[in-house]
């Protein structure tokens, strides 16, 4: 991938951290609140973790905000999630700009509607010059679809005579992924006690360190993030070589 190769051997801070933000619904249910209350609390957790990522020198933070499978949820909940995303953009954009955070998107946000897509693109453009941290938000994202799309583009290039099919290797496919411009994924965190990837960054996670925590996402904070970084630093990364 263009962002580099595996770089850490333990003991250092990760360049690229991804988080599956799980547990909003259970957090709300335990309090007798509607699910949207959990999503709102989860948005507050994003703010805390973003601050911790900046503080600890993380270069890229990728958040699984809305999967391609989330459309199966009740229409009311999907509508609430879209509204919350718009609200978050309005409220947090100035702070992102002040903190030097660049916003990027992966996935296909077009089903969210023209109005929200326009605001998302505007936010990406407004923060484009920032270089302290890149915040990548995965919206309507699915890793299998991403990999299939990458393979399709390579097949089209080969069919057009632009590529020798026999010469296609892993690096060629990696360059076609949504994340090609950023460093390799070092650490993937999932909250809420679930231990699966849920179709998130499947290719990118091949040699990432995985940390699963029991904390529900709205309760995940700076201390929880730094504890995950500490676990990463304590591990010996071998990349299959020894």
**Mind telling me the catalytic residues?**
22, 70
Question: Is 23 marked as a binding-site residue?
Answer: yes
- 159 marked as binding residue: no
> Does 182 count as an annotated binding residue?
no
CB count within 10 Å of CB 237 equals 18
Would you say 203 is a known binding-site residue?
Answer: no
Q: Is 197 marked as a binding-site residue?
A: yes
Strand 187-190 to 16-20 pairing: parallel
CB of 63 closer than 8 Å to CB of 19: yes
Q: Is 35 a known ligand-binding residue?
A: yes
Which residues, in sequence order, are bridge partners of residue 183? Answer: none
Q: For residue 196, how many other CB atoms are within 10 A of its CB?
A: 10
The crossing angle, in degrees rounded to 10, of helices 222-234 and 35-55 is: 50
16 is in an annotated binding site: no
What DSSP state is assigned to residue 19? E
176 marked ligand binding residue: no
d(CA 58, CA 20): 17
Say if residue 27 carries a ligand binding annotation: yes
Closest-CA residue to 24 (of 12, 4, 40, 13): 40
Provide the annotated binding site for Mg(2+).
22, 209
Provide the annotated binding site for substrate.
23-27, 35, 39, 67-69, 71, 73, 190, 196-198
């Amino acid at each position: 991938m263009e962002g580099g190769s595996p770089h850490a051997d333990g003991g250092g801070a990760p360049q690229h951290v991804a988080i599956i933000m799980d547990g909003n619904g259970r957090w709300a249910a335990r309090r007798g609140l509607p699910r949207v209350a959990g999503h709102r609390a989860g948005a507050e957790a994003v703010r805390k973790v973003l601050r911790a990522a900046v503080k600890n020198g993380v270069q890229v933070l990728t958040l699984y905000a809305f999967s391609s499978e989330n459309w199966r949820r009740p229409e009311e909940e999907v509508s609430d999630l879209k509204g919350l995303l718009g609200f978050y953009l309005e409220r947090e954009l100035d702070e992102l700009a002040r903190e030097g955070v660049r916003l990027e998107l992966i996935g296909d946000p077009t089903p969210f509607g023209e109005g929200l897509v326009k605001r998302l693109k505007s936010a990406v453009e407004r923060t484009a010059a920032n270089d302290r941290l890149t915040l990548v938000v995965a919206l309507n994202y699915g890793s299998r679809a991403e990999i299939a799309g990458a393979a399709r583009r390579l097949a089209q290039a080969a069919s057009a005579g632009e590529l020798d099919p026999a010469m296609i290797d892993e690096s060629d496919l990696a360059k076609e992924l949504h994340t090609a411009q950023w460093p390799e994924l070092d650490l993937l965190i999932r909250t809420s006690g679930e231990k699966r990837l849920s179709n998130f960054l499947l290719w990118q996670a091949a040699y990432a360190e995985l940390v699963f925590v029991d904390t529900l996402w709205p309760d995940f904070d700076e201390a929880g993030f730094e504890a995950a970084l500490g676990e990463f630093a304590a591990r010996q990364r071998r990349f299959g070589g020894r």
